Amino acid sequence: MRSWPHRKNAFSIPKPSIRLSPCTALSFWLSLAGGIVLYFSFLAGGAPDTGWFSYAPLAERAFAPGTGVDYYIVGLAVNGAGTIIGAINLAVTILLMRCPGMAISRVPLFVWMTLITSILILGAYPALTAALVMLLVDRGLGGHFFDPAGGGQAVLWQHLFWFFGHPEVYIMILPAMGMISEVIPVFSRKPIFGYAFVAGSSVAIAFLSFGVWAHHMFAVGLGDTENAIFSATSMLIAIPTGVKIFNWIATMIGGRLRMTTAMLFAVGFIAMFVIGGLSGVSLAVVPIDLAVTDSYYVVAHLHYVLFGGTMLGIFAGAYYWFPKMTGRLLGEVLGRWHFWTAFVGLNLTFLPQHWLGAVGMPRRVFTYAADTGWGPLNLISTIGAAILAIAIAIFFVNVVRSLRSGEIAGDDPWDAFTLEWSTTSPPLPENFATIPAVTGRRPLWDRKHPELRDAR
């Protein structure tokens, strides 16, 4: 068993103190309350049974007479209100409360991504809220917004939902991209390649994400002109996304790479997100989309983006910032086991689903005929899911073990670039004893290496 010589100092680490501003507290409690309302439906007569996008008219009272959809509406509306308040709080903080010298062109890329995410939330969530209110009126007050029998349009729900739903993909992935944009430069020992392009491509993604929603609706029958327009915009949004990929790779080229667990997850993020992005581009081609709509091909694409992308990015950020939040390092040995089991499990689970979807296996089925030929690949996918579960268990074991007896990190274990690493680990409630001044995009690095200041 490994000895931990630092354990005699285990109680010297200051306990983290959490103070929430009123807006942050309101955002948190509304988000939590919305989630509780949604999950309470399991105990109050049945959970929503109309799919996660609750398509009309299947969500109308005539087709879903129970209370499950009502809980879905109220829960999402309350949760959305909390999310909107949080987005306003973050955007105002970033725009108006920067420290001296921190021009918008100098903020860390993670902060840039947070700002863009907040703007996306403010543009997308009102559409979902409006759709939820209209559905509640239909179900409770006899309205007919989405009921064709009463003069409504069922496809209106899809337009409103996906106007929210596709920006939501970037709401989930952009923060992870921001984490990757901080991890890769630090462990490459180089500034990010093309800072302005990474930031600008995020703005482009935010703008374009509001013009691609109907590629989720190619099978609805919108018409050739509409399909062509949304096909083109869906392909176009791949350009700013690809810019980030090239910037991250260019940052690593020629760098002095340190393959910590955080860096492993960052590199894994790039590889998996490329697969998810390429399958997404294929779905922008209308004939391909029509052929694989509602199949396991779509499931594979979605999970390569949201697990191979978002979750791997979050894990990279967790291993990177855990020392700052807790004062202790996550174990590197367990971290590597976590990475490789997650990487293998992810690909075993979702890579076969591309082929299953291409040969016609539909999603949302619990059984299928033996003569379909789907069994072997589906079995491999199931084994992969079990390996993924083991990977998540390893991560939680690592967290618990590190909180109890992990190596003490110090204030700046990574020789990092940004200001959070200049204060204690975990930070004091006030963060900094004095407000720091910023002279460049790598303020802490500038302070530690004044002879290399403004090196690019």
**Residue 224 above 70 pLDDT?**
yes
**Residue 455 above 60 pLDDT?**
no
Q: What is the predicted pLDDT for the residue at 1?
A: 34
Write out 59-113 in H/E/C secondary structure: CCCCCCCCCHHHHHHHHHHHHHHHHHHHHHHHHHHHHHCCCCCCCCCCCCHHHHH
Average pLDDT on 406-413 reads 91
Structure tokens at 49: 């049974």
Q: DSSP states of 334-356 as a string?
A: HHHHHHHHHHHHHHHHHHHHHHH
Average pLDDT on 64-77 reads 91
Reference 278, options 305, 299, 246; nearest CA is: 305
**Of 52-56, 340-344, 403-407, 427-431, where does mean pLDDT reach its minimum?**
427-431
Asked if residues 134 and 271 have their Cβ atoms less than 8 Å apart, the reply is no
**Residue 11 above 70 pLDDT?**
no
What single-letter amino acid sits at 179?
Answer: M
Q: What is the predicted pLDDT for the residue at 20?
A: 60
pLDDT band at 452 (very low <50, low <70, confident <90, very high): low
- Chain centre distance of CA 365: 27
Average pLDDT on 398-418 reads 93
Q: For the segment 349-379, what is each residue's pLDDT rounded down to a tens digit? A: 999 999 999 999 998 888 888 889 999 999 9
Share of the chain above pLDDT 90, in %: 72
Query: Residue 366 and residue 152: Cα distance in Å, rounded?
Result: 33
Q: What is the predicted pLDDT for the residue at 49?
A: 85
Average pLDDT on 263-285 reads 94
pLDDT band at 5 (very low <50, low <70, confident <90, very high): very low
CA diameter of the chain? 74
Q: For the segment 94-121, what is each residue's pLDDT rounded down to a tens digit? A: 999 888 888 999 999 999 999 999 999 9
Q: What is the predicted pLDDT for the residue at 408?
A: 92
Share of the chain above pLDDT 70, in %: 94
**Residue 9 above 70 pLDDT?**
no
Q: What is the predicted pLDDT for the residue at 430?
A: 80
What's the pTM? 0.89
Q: What is the predicted pLDDT for the residue at 19?
A: 58
User: Can you name the residues that pair with 228 across neighbouring β-strands?
Assistant: none
**Residue 90 above 90 pLDDT?**
yes
Q: What is the predicted pLDDT for the residue at 379?
A: 94
Mean of all residue pLDDT scores within the chain: 90
In terms of pLDDT, which residue wins out, 390 or 100? 390
Q: For the segment 119-166, what is each residue's pLDDT rounded down to a tens digit? A: 999 999 999 999 999 999 999 898 889 988 888 899 999 999 999 999
Average pLDDT on 209-236 reads 92
**Residue 4 above 50 pLDDT?**
no
The domain segmentation of the chain, as residue ranges, is 259-277+287-408, 410-445
